[in-house]
């Protein structure tokens, strides 16, 4: 059984084809700069040379059509015909409170995904666009939505509510949702496998440290708290996002510095974090190279990055009344030992051995698994 996984952004589409029986990745690709100058597709079928194609790719329909052409290409492809695709799993960022699990896409599901456009204006619209296009190009098979927020729907109200008047939660659904759920779930399952213990009996802290960063407390297999909130801006310091700040800074910037709301939005999402503090880059490799050269601001950025991670790790150890293992994943978590060393350096107070695991995440494989589990 082959399952195609699609992860669509506003100007890009990533795809992977899996044979789910043995969880083998058959092919992967990315279409970038859709509708922009310099659009291109990079495709790799397993065991074959990667292919790059630069040509005008005006919209998501052309992008997904091209991906299917490559997957079925006589020489470069891995399947003979699109009929060999048994189902499609779609990444959908926001499932709000309606979806605590993956779901087969029906007209009602599409309506709900659309109703969350206001909660995820950058993500849900391109996610839905790809669903529509894929349904058109691959009719007659089931399409499944796998939500970034779903894994965090087990977080209790005591952790997901903000200290705002309750009506803002009731009427506007302003609450913590959390993101990267598919990644946190994948590495938690993998950690249980590695530790040879049932996930239901483990207390884990999973650290997804990529361009976006989030930490989750996974107790007995369930997310009980996570650092991202109503949006992915809350929590840890990230490549270009500020993470937690005193909300009154926003009033100060608006009232005393005359910054517009959209300028502040841009500032906190795109010009802050590692980039804003270091003035070097939002990319940890560049920042840490500067640290090694003795750059003071880069070192400050790194220190703040570590401080925020420790703040969450510490509070989640308390929330779970202990921890069995801390898991690191994503670009920084998987590759950057100085980050892991600095985070774990202060854990000796625990007085017991805590396992530290590095587990490469694979959100697409998790989506393929969920799709298969739901349908077959
Ligand atoms: P995304 O969140 O976009 O999926 P990634 O998971 O690829 O991002 O993570 C990107 C981050 O990982 C960047 O900060 C990058 O510098 C960092 N990173 C990737 N490889 C390394 C490495 N070998 N050493 C240190 N940092 C790395």
User: Mean pLDDT by 10-residue block, N- to C-terminus, for the chain (376 residues)?
Assistant: 97 98 97 97 94 96 97 94 98 97 98 96 96 98 98 98 98 97 98 98 98 98 98 98 98 98 98 98 98 98 98 97 97 98 88 92 98 96
> How far is it, in rounded angstroms, from Cα 82 to Cα 106?
21
Query: 149 near 181, Cβ under 8 Å?
Result: yes
- Residues involved in catalysis: 148
* pLDDT score at 267: 98
Report pLDDT for 352: 82
Query: Which of ligand 1's atoms lies nearest the C-alpha of 213?
Result: 2
CATH 3.40.50.300 correct for 2-147: no
Equal fold, 2-147 vs 197-363 = yes
Quick one: residue 260, left, alpha or beta (phi over 0 = left, psi -120 to 50 = alpha)? beta
What is the DSSP-derived secondary structure letter of residue 80? S
What contacts 281, CB < 8 A, 6 or more positions away? Answer: 274, 275, 287, 290
CA distances (Å), origin 1, targets 4, 88, 105, 140: 10, 11, 19, 15
Say yes or no: CB of residue 310 within 6 Å of ligand 1.
Answer: no
Distance 330 CA to ligand 1 centre (A): 7
Contact 273, 237 (CB under 8 A): yes
CATH of 197-363, one of 3.30.980.10, 3.40.50.1000, 3.30.420.40, 1.10.10.10: 3.30.420.40
29 touches 15 (CB < 8 A): yes
Q: Is the CB of 239 under 6 A from ligand 1?
A: yes
Collect all residues with Cβ–Cβ distance below 8 Å to 376 and sequence separation of at least 6.
1, 86
363 near 183, Cβ under 8 Å? yes
Residue 194 DSSP SS3: helix
User: Residue ranges per domain, the chain?
Assistant: 2-147, 197-363
pLDDT of residue 9: 95
Q: Are 110 and 78 in contact (CB under 8 A)?
A: no
CA of 211 to the centre of ligand 1 (A): 6
Q: Which of 280, 284, 289, 291 to mutate to test the pocket of ligand 1 (most atoms within 8 A of CB)?
A: 284
Helix (H, G, I), strand (E, B) or coil at 165: coil
Using one digit for the tens of pLDDT, what is the confidence trace for 67-76? 999 999 998 8
336 C-alpha to ligand 1 centroid (Å)? 8
- Whether 77 is in the pocket of ligand 1, judged by its Cβ within 6 Å, is no
For atom 22 of ligand 1, the residue with the nearest CA is: 335
- What local confidence, expressed as pLDDT, does residue 274 receive? 98
| pLDDT tens string 11-37 | 999 999 999 999 999 999 999 999 999
Q: What is the rounded CA–CA span in Å between residue 207 and residue 178?
A: 13
Residue 35 has a pLDDT of 96
């Amino acid at each position: 059984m082959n399952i195609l996984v699609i992860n669509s952004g506003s100007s890009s589409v990533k795809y992977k084809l899996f044979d789910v029986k043995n969880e083998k990745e058959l092919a992967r690709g990315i279409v970038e700069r859709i509708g922009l100058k310099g659009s291109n597709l990079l495709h790799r079928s397993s065991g074959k040379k990667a292919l790059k194609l630069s040509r005008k790719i005006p919209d998501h329909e052309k992008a997904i059509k091209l991906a299917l052409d490559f997957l079925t290409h006589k020489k470069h492809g891995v399947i003979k015909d699109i009929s060999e695709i048994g189902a499609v799993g779609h990444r959908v960022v926001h499932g709000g409170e309606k979806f605590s699990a993956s779901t087969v896409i029906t007209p009602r599901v599409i309506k709900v995904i659309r109703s969350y456009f206001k909660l995820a204006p950058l993500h849900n619209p391109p996610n839905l666009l790809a669903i529509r296009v894929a349904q058109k190009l691959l009719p007659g098979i089931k399409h499944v939505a796998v939500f970034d927020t779903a894994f965090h729907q087990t977080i209790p109200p005591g952790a997901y509510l903000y200290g705002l008047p309750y009506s803002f939660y009731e009427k506007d659904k302003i609450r913590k949702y959390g993101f990267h759920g598919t990644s946190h779930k994948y590495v938690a399952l993998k950690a249980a496998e590695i530790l040879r213990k049932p996930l239901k009996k483990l207390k884990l802290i999973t650290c997804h440290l990529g361009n976006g960063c989030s930490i989750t407390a996974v107790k007995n297999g369930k997310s009980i708290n996570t650092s991202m909130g109503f949006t992915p801006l809350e929590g840890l310091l990230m490549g270009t996002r500020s993470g937690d700040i005193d909300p009154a800074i926003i009033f100060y910037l608006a009232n005393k510095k005359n910054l517009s709301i959209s300028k502040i939005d841009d500032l906190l999402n795109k010009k802050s974090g590692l980039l804003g503090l270091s003035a070097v880059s939002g990319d940890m490799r560049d920042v840490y190279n500067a640290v090694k050269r003795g750059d003071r601001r880069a070192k400050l950025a790194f220190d703040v990055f570590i401080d925020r991670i420790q703040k969450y790790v510490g509070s989640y150890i308390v929330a779970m009344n202990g921890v069995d293992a801390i898991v690191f994943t994503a670009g920084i978590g998987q590759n950057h030992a100085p980050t892991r060393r600095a985070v774990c350096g202060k854990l000796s107070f625990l007085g017991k051995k805590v396992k530290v695991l590095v587990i490469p995440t694979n959100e697409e494989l998790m989506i393929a698994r969920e799709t298969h589990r739901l349908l077959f």
